[in-house]
A and B are shown apart, each in its own frame.
Chain A
């Protein structure tokens, strides 16, 4: 959905977690630019899933495999463990059925990669303190036109993973493209994590 507007730094992070020749699934794949990037950088064999007709057309134009499908309806057609990595790049916050989808990611993928905007970022907190909903580079929408339906912080997501027995194998946090190592829940606007089942 929002892959299109992203700088490439998060693509680089994701690519580092992908081994050459892997099978990858990108849920909410937008115009397919991440899959195209991974195919070039890692020689992956990938498929995207998106519901938006404009994105499906963009993927076809980009020569990226795309399956037009509604993520809210789950991934019933996909076999268990078929993909090395199931990716949701800035799309988890746009679906209602968060937990079932996370579980589906780890059913069809050996590992999952999930990136999301951090609502707990200090500028977002400041906006709320000032009485306005946050709008930033990683949360670029107004409250009335946002495709995001779930608003959560890095700490919220960590707590959910723990509760659901999902192992967070790695977490990288960024502030406007620069990596944040200290107190990411306060200082990072974007988080990218690698998830698995132990």
Chain B
């Protein structure tokens, strides 16, 4: 993609919220900051705003790059920009780092004003509902009464769905990509392995590792390695790595033999170098807890009756972490509530991570849907 399709140089902004926020857990945060980025221009009647919600490791940096770091390109830059499927010539796009995050919004690594030390273990568990609530306050701050669309993949899709339930009148379209109405036992199991890796790292210090000047990098690295396996498909891993040996011969020791081991170690190390372990714990809990049907005896159709938005759902054939079947559950629940809903099942071999790629059919469907949104 050439430069004319990039939003170019961007810079994050910060909003401070002094009014306390009551969280689903019962805890309260007295005040907090959210960092966010915007691309495009809010039109005069404020009808062209689109919120992009991030997944487990994402951030507010959705598109473009920073002046002092051109290599730091937004995580959904292939989707968002002038002339791209989410066209910033038409839409005013907002990316926000969620509460509890580690990219600038108030999170476990932030200073707790009550103690003068990082929150650490004292930072409350936050949920998808809490994120929606905090995002709604940001929308108020930006003068956005109603979003033209809310878009998210994976955990981001859960936020888009939750918005449509919590604030039906504030969402015209929800694009729920590679997502699910709740995690399966298998999904929770993977998250628990990731959490145990962090919680049992001797450098974790009960979550207060900041004051010990260490990070539980071993745990975070293992968590990311496990996660990474589940984001890829067996096919793609086979194609990309197969049984290729790193150095052509078996070593008969516990160093890297196979390319896949090298790849996972690299990904784990990279991630442990910048991501916050407490944020990882909180975010996996938010994933595990999300279940809008819980208050409706497990009846998803009843749970989604509140939504009034129009929906586009997209899944990917090789995604076994958020399988197409999970998207279909939402599709049928919406359809049987007489909601406008379309569903595309994209044939892509990259597993869960497909939603971040620029598969031609996927982006064509996204672009066509977004093109038809009147602003």
Q: Is B364 an interface residue (CB 8 A)?
A: yes
User: By the criterion CB–CB under 8 Å, are A60 and B368 in contact?
Assistant: yes
Q: Is A59 an interface residue (CB 8 A)?
A: yes
A56–B340 Cα gap in the complex (Å)?
15
Give chain B's interface secondary structure class: mixed
Which chain B residues lie closer than 8 Å to A59 at the CB level? 342
Residues A65 and B344 in contact in the complex (CB < 8 Å), given A56-B365, A60-B368, A60-B369: no
User: By the criterion CB–CB under 8 Å, are A61 and B344 in contact?
Assistant: no
Give chain A's interface secondary structure class: mixed
A124–B342 Cα gap in the complex (Å)?
39
Distance from B155 Cβ to chain A, minimum over Cβ atoms (Å): 23
Residues A77 and B344 in contact in the complex (CB < 8 Å), given A23-B338, A57-B361, A60-B368: no
Nearest neighbor of A59 in chain B, beta-carbon distance: B342
Which chain A residues lie closer than 8 Å to B369 at the CB level? 60
Distance from B340 Cβ to chain A, minimum over Cβ atoms (Å): 6
Which chain B residues lie closer than 8 Å to A69 at the CB level? 343, 345
Which chain B residues lie closer than 8 Å to A47 at the CB level? 335, 341
B347-375: which have CB < 8 Å to A?
Answer: 347, 361, 364-365, 368-369, 371-372
- Over the window 253-266 of chain B, the binary record of Cβ atoms lying under 8 Å from chain A Cβ atoms (1 yes, 0 no) is 00000000000000
Distance from B346 Cβ to chain A, minimum over Cβ atoms (Å): 8
Which of B331, B347, B368 makes the CB contact (< 8 A) with A67? Answer: B331
Which of A45, A53, A68, A82 makes the CB contact (< 8 A) with B336? Answer: A82
Q: Is A183 an interface residue (CB 8 A)?
A: no
Q: Is B218 an interface residue (CB 8 A)?
A: no
Distance from B192 Cβ to chain A, minimum over Cβ atoms (Å): 30
A66-102: which have CB < 8 Å to B?
Answer: 66-69, 77-79, 82
A67–B333 Cα gap in the complex (Å)?
13
User: By the criterion CB–CB under 8 Å, are B335 and A68 in contact?
Assistant: no
Which of A57, A65, A79, A82 makes the CB contact (< 8 A) with B364? Answer: A57
Q: Is A63 an interface residue (CB 8 A)?
A: yes
Q: Is B228 an interface residue (CB 8 A)?
A: no
Q: Is B275 an interface residue (CB 8 A)?
A: no
A84–B222 Cα gap in the complex (Å)?
54
Which of A45, A61, A68 makes the CB contact (< 8 A) with B368? Answer: A61
A–B pairs, 28, beta carbons within 8 Å: A53-B344, A53-B346, A53-B347, A53-B361, A56-B342, A57-B361, A57-B368, A59-B342, A60-B312, A60-B342, A60-B344, A60-B365, A60-B368, A61-B368, A63-B372, A64-B342, A65-B341, A65-B342, A66-B342, A66-B344, A67-B331, A67-B335, A68-B343, A68-B345, A69-B345, A77-B328, A77-B331, A78-B335
- Residues in chain B within 8 A of chain A (CB atoms): 312, 328, 331-332, 335-336, 338, 340-347, 361, 364-365, 368-369, 371-372
A56-B342, A63-B372 known, 4 other contacts, Cβ within 8 Å? A60-B312, A61-B372, A67-B343, A78-B332
